[in-house]
């Protein structure tokens, strides 16, 4: 990353290398918890659950058992990839008419109305039952210990926590849980969450059923009723996760795997297909010509995202058409190499009828897990059920209230989802397990990281350190259209000013920013040696740890 004030061999820190196992995530205590599970003989999914549970304690604004998860698992014993969709559904009582009676034109971001069923705990159970080798007592022990005894709050997490003080103060249970002494904990201060320790302990005793059909479920339902929410015990009882086959495209000899909708992962595949028609290496890394093509490909893919992505149980989603090479060729012809597009309608593929955390783990047997889990916005809905120590997500806010939209609100329907895990294989074997958290930044972050690795030959740490762009203002999955001026391109400060000027000359509205560029974690399996190479996001508090 030439020109960066902390650059050393193109990177801010060295690649982490290890022979046996590795965990990469956004908080060191969580990564270490996963490593301890691997050292004790656990499977990669055991370590992923342990890491996620600790993150729910130490990074509570970004994730927790009040939210959803998605994962891609490579099973080394069979050589197969498996996709898990552990996202929850809208309450049975959720209907557009109810929001209209309340005089609402959109689903609120906070409070009880954007709740959907939390899928995380069922996701843990699906992973553990299919692949795990340890019980909940073992995998949740580190998280219970930190929740009971406390931990020092790290720098970036403390900053994000403080930013949510106003939201948390709106509800007494939220403030009691997350604002001890009336404020967010500062960097280095200790924090405990005895209520969450209690819930985790109950899960070790009663498994996933305690959360969906037992004491915890009844307390969530009672809290919903007391706060005029729509979530009921029936909604929790009827929740199930699904195993969905990952979908893929090839990019310059690598196979990139994402999960199909209701998530946004296929936008990555569409962007890569479009970009494969350009010689980005010749155009130069983060040059105006490369960035222009990446931004324009993003606009095209996100226009399709807004039009087509929804719960496939409720709508036709033309996945194979959208990720086909033929469609990408048509889309590529829409890009003007000299001018930024301002009006970007969705394409017309033929319908084929037949705040977040990311973590990744690879174990000694080379089982790999790409795992992402979220509450959506920071602290989700902002509401913590009494005595339970975790906030409920606000993922339902991403439903549209437009009756003609594929992603319209309907009872027991999964909303459009932003969180996407990814994996890359080479010659049928896992090469990279990675993700880039951060709302709408995620697909464009995946694309930029993969171009860094494949087109520009960066190592796994350089690829995450390299400065990024974040284009905003594309059409939204709630039905809102693209901004009239084509949206905004935010550039990190280390992208050259001459590049910013050249983009502006092409018609891009360019701004400078220091945040909003996602959070990357990755583990690469060196195809020549079989050794593990880990990279971790310098924009977060975390690290890659190996053994």
What domains can you pick out in the chain, each with its CATH number?
17-243+362-398 (no CATH), 274-354+432-540 (1.10.246.130)
CA-to-CA distance for 190 and 148, rounded, in angstroms? 11
CA-to-CA distance for 418 and 117, rounded, in angstroms? 16
Q: What does the pLDDT read at residue 343?
A: 82
Q: What does the pLDDT read at residue 476?
A: 84
Q: What is the mean pLDDT of residues 530-542?
A: 95
Least confident of 12-16, 356-360, 506-510, 525-529: 12-16
pLDDT value at 7 more than 80: no
Token pair for 130: 């299919």
pLDDT value at 102 more than 50: yes
Q: What does the pLDDT read at residue 349?
A: 64
pLDDT value at 235 more than 70: yes
**Average pLDDT score over the chain:** 94
SS3 of residue 327 by DSSP = helix
φ, ψ for residue 219 (rounded to 5)? -70, -35
Q: What does the pLDDT read at residue 100?
A: 95
pLDDT value at 9 more than 80: no
Q: How confident is the model at residue 478 (pLDDT cuts 50, 70, 90)?
A: confident
pLDDT value at 148 more than 50: yes
> In this structure, are residues 144 and 56 in contact, taking their beta carbons and an 8 Å threshold?
no
> In this structure, are residues 543 and 20 in contact, taking their beta carbons and an 8 Å threshold?
no
Q: What does the pLDDT read at residue 345?
A: 80
> Which of 509, 508, 538 has the alpha carbon at shortest distance from 521?
538
pLDDT value at 37 more than 60: yes
> In this structure, are residues 413 and 239 in contact, taking their beta carbons and an 8 Å threshold?
no
67 class by beta-carbon count within 10 Å (0-12 exposed, 13-18 middle, 19+ buried): buried
pLDDT value at 175 more than 80: yes
Q: What does the pLDDT read at residue 10?
A: 62
CA-to-CA distance for 181 and 184, rounded, in angstroms? 8
- Quick count: other Cβ atoms within 10 Å of Cβ 96? 17
SS3 of residue 423 by DSSP = strand
Helices (H), 333-484: 441-454, 462-465
Q: How confident is the model at residue 486 (pLDDT cuts 50, 70, 90)?
A: confident
What is the secondary structure of 42-110 as a DSSP string?
Answer: --HHHHHHHHHHHHHHHSTTT--TTSEEEEEEEETTTTEEEEEEE-----TT--HHHHHHTT-SS--SS
Q: What does the pLDDT read at residue 507?
A: 96
Q: What is the mean pLDDT of residues 6-32?
A: 86
Distances in Å between the Cα of 90 and the Cα atoms of 23, 94, 230, 264, 321 are 33, 6, 9, 18, 28
Strand stretches in 312-405, DSSP E: 356-362, 368-374
Q: Which residues are catalytic?
A: 356
Within 8 A by CB and 6+ apart from 78, the residues are: none
User: Which H/E stretch holds residue 248?
Assistant: strand 247-251
pLDDT value at 144 more than 60: yes
pLDDT value at 497 more than 80: yes
Q: What does the pLDDT read at residue 481?
A: 76
pLDDT value at 292 more than 90: yes
pTM, entire model: 0.95
Q: How confident is the model at residue 352 (pLDDT cuts 50, 70, 90)?
A: very low
**Token pair 């597009």 is at which residue?**
341
Q: How confident is the model at residue 1 (pLDDT cuts 50, 70, 90)?
A: very low
With a pLDDT cut of 90, the percent of the chain lying above it is: 92
Q: How wide is the angle at C-alpha 476 spanned by C-alphas 471 and 477, nearest 5°?
A: 135
Q: Summarize pLDDT for 178-212 with one digit per residue, the tens.
A: 999 999 999 999 999 999 999 999 999 999 999 99
Q: Summarize pLDDT for 212-234 with one digit per residue, the tens.
A: 999 999 999 999 999 999 999 99
pLDDT value at 484 more than 80: no
DSSP 397: G
Q: What does the pLDDT read at residue 4?
A: 46
Q: Summarize pLDDT for 391-437 with one digit per residue, the tens.
A: 999 999 999 999 999 999 999 999 999 999 999 999 999 999 999 99
pLDDT value at 8 more than 60: no
φ, ψ for residue 231 (rounded to 5)? -75, 130
312 CB-side CA count, 13 A = 17
Q: What does the pLDDT read at residue 474?
A: 85
Q: How confident is the model at residue 104 (pLDDT cuts 50, 70, 90)?
A: very high
Q: What is the mean pLDDT of residues 158-183?
A: 97
Distance of CA 517 to the CA centre of its chain: 13
Q: How confident is the model at residue 354 (pLDDT cuts 50, 70, 90)?
A: very low
């Amino acid at each position: 990353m030439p020109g960066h004030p902390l650059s050393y061999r193109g990177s801010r820190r060295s690649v982490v290398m290890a022979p046996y196992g590795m965990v990469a995530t956004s908080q060191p205590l969580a990564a270490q918890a996963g490593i301890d599970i691997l050292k004790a003989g656990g499977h990669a999914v055991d370590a992923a659950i342990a890491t996620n549970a600790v993150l729910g304690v130490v990074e509570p604004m970004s994730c927790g058992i009040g939210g959803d998860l998605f994962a891609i698992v490579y099973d080394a014993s069979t050589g197969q990839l498996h996709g898990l969709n552990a996202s929850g559904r809208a309450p049975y009582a959720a209907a557009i008419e109810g929001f209209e009676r309340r005089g609402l034109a959109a689903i609120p971001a906070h409070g009880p109305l954007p709740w959907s069923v939390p899928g995380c705990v069922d996701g843990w159970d699906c992973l553990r039952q299919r692949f795990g080798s340890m019980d909940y007592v073992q995998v949740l022990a580190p998280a219970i210990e930190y929740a009971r005894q406390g931990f020092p709050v790290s720098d970036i997490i403390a900053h994000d926590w403080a930013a949510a003080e106003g939201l948390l103060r709106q509800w007494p249970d939220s403030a009691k849980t997350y604002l001890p002494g009336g404020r967010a904990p500062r960097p280095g201060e200790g924090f405990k969450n005895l209520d969450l320790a209690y819930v985790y302990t109950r899960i070790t005793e009663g498994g996933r059923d305690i959360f969906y059909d037992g004491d915890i479920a009844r307390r969530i339902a009672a809290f919903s009723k007391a706060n005029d929410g729509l979530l009921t015990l029936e909604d929790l009882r009827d929740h199930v996760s699904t195993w969905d086959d990952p979908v893929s495209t090839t990019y310059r000899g690598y196979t990139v795997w994402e999960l199909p909708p209701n998530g946004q992962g296929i936008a990555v595949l569409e962007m890569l297909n479009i970009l494969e028609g350009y010689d980005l290496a010749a155009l130069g890394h983060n040059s105006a010509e490369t960035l222009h093509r990446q931004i324009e490909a993003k606009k095209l893919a996100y226009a399709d995202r807004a039009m087509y992505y929804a719960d496939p149980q409720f709508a036709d989603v033309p996945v194979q058409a959208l990720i086909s090479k033929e469609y990408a060729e048509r889309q590529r012809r829409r890009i003007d190499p000299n001018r930024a597009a301002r009006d970007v309608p969705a394409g017309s593929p033929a319908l084929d009828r037949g705040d977040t955390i990311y973590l990744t783990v690879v174990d000694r047997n080379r089982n790999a897990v790409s795992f992402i889990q979220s509450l959506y916005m920071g602290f989700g809905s902002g509401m913590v059920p009494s005595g339970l120590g975790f906030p409920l997500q606000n993922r339902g806010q991403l439903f549209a209230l437009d009756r003609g939209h594929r992603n319209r609100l309907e009872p027991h329907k999964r909303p459009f989802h932003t969180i996407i895990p990814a994996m890359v294989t080479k010659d049928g074997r896992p090469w990279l397990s990675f993700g880039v958290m951060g709302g709408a930044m995620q697909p464009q972050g995946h694309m930029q990281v993969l171009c860094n690795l494949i087109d520009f030959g960066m190592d796994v740490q350089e690829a995450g350190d390299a400065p990024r762009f974040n284009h905003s203002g594309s059409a939204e999955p709630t039905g809102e259209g693209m901004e009239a001026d084509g949206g905004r391109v935010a550039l990190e400060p280390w992208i050259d000013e001459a590049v910013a000027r050249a983009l502006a000359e092409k018609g891009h509205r360019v701004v400078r920013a220091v945040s909003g560029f996602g959070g990357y974690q990755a583990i690469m399996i060196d195809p020549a040696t079989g050794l593990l190479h880990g990279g971790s996001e310098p924009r977060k508090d975390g690290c890659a740890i190996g053994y």
